[in-house]
Amino acid sequence: MKQRLVTGLIAGAGFLAVLFVGKLYFAGLILVLAAVGYYEYSRMNGHPPFRLTGLLGFAGTLYIAFPWESYPDLRALAPESAIWLALFLLFALTVISKNKVTIDQIALVFLGVLYIGTGFHYMISTRLGDHGLYWTLLTFVCIWATDSGAYFCGRAFGKRPLWPTISPKKTVEGALGGVVISVVVALLFSIYAPDLLTWGRAIGLGLVIAVVGQLGDLIQSAYKRIRGIKDTGSILPGHGGVLDRCDSWLIVFPFVQLLSLLPQ
């Protein structure tokens, strides 16, 4: 527990410092996390990360994660074209290798590219957008508040298992506590900047982040249970790997961006 706390404080402080310092520094850090995340994904699926399929996976993940739209002077493929090209190259590998690289293998690689690349892309694009620090910090703090609220409310009041076959320790009471704390945090952000976030939108945003974030956590838990592993990696002592820490992030940031396309 002590190691987990120390690691969490150091990593959290460093992450927040980079988030505050600058957009490019934050983008660089997220791209590193994306590369490490894909490495963990390859390892837990039994794919050699530095063979040709793995290298294509790294390239695809980093290409999708990079915020091309923020650098119009850099010529790049449209996202849908990049995704199709990655799919084509992976399919071509099955032919070139005479099915030594199977369609099941390339399907897992392609899934990892989209899952990890897209999630980290939206973290960067949120920070590089208008009022990026505000929106990025709001999203992260709501995610962390959800995790903390669910943990402490679950310990204090938890009785009914939320999803015992996937994550036995999570409870319905804990999940509801996480939602409440997330909404409270979003309302505090609204009070700080009412011109950016109304109370109504704050409640909706806090609710969405809490629910989708906990679903992202359960998705990763379900995946790890299928693979028979506790952690995706060991880069963070006491916390596991990058994907263990970023499971909610990878789902929440794209979902919040999706909601921003809706009429307000």
Flag whether 181 is in a domain.
yes
Flag whether 197 is in a domain.
yes
Residue 141's pLDDT is what?
96
Flag whether 209 is in a domain.
yes
The total number of structural domains in the chain stands at: 2
Shared-domain flag, residues 121 and 47:
yes
Flag whether 238 is in a domain.
no
Q: Reduced to 3 states, what is the DSSP secondary structure of residue 171?
A: strand
Residue 116's pLDDT is what?
96
Shared-domain flag, residues 104 and 180:
no
Residue 74 DSSP label: S
Shared-domain flag, residues 122 and 8:
yes
Shared-domain flag, residues 6 and 119:
yes
Shared-domain flag, residues 90 and 191:
no
Shared-domain flag, residues 121 and 141:
no
* Nearest of 238, 219, 250, 209 to residue 33 by alpha carbon: 250
- Quote the domain boundaries for residue 63: 1-129
pLDDT tens digits along 140-183: 999 999 999 988 898 888 788 887 778 778 888 999 999 999 99
The band of 264, judged by pLDDT with boundaries at 50, 70 and 90, is: very low
Shared-domain flag, residues 10 and 120:
yes
Domain ends where: 98, 129, 160? Answer: 129
Shared-domain flag, residues 136 and 148:
yes
Identity at 2, one-letter amino acid code: K
Residue 74's pLDDT is what?
81
pLDDT tens digits along 81-137: 989 999 999 999 999 999 899 999 999 999 999 999 999 999 999 999 999 999 999
Spatial CB neighbours of 76, under 8 Å, sequence gap ≥ 6: 66, 68, 82
Cα dihedral sign, 239-222-149-209: positive
pLDDT tens digits along 171-195: 889 999 999 999 999 999 999 999 9
Shared-domain flag, residues 38 and 99:
yes
199 or 22, higher pLDDT: 199
Flag whether 235 is in a domain.
no
Spatial CB neighbours of 10, under 8 Å, sequence gap ≥ 6: none
User: What is the per-residue DSSP string for 189-200?
Assistant: HHHH-TTT--HH
Shared-domain flag, residues 110 and 9:
yes
Beta-carbon-side half-sphere exposure of residue 31 (alpha carbons within 13 Å): 16
Rounded Cα distance between 210 and 208, Å, is 5
Shared-domain flag, residues 107 and 15:
yes
The answer to whether 137 and 19 are in contact (CB under 8 A) is yes
Identity at 230, one-letter amino acid code: K
Shared-domain flag, residues 27 and 113:
yes
pLDDT tens digits along 45-71: 888 888 889 999 999 999 999 999 888
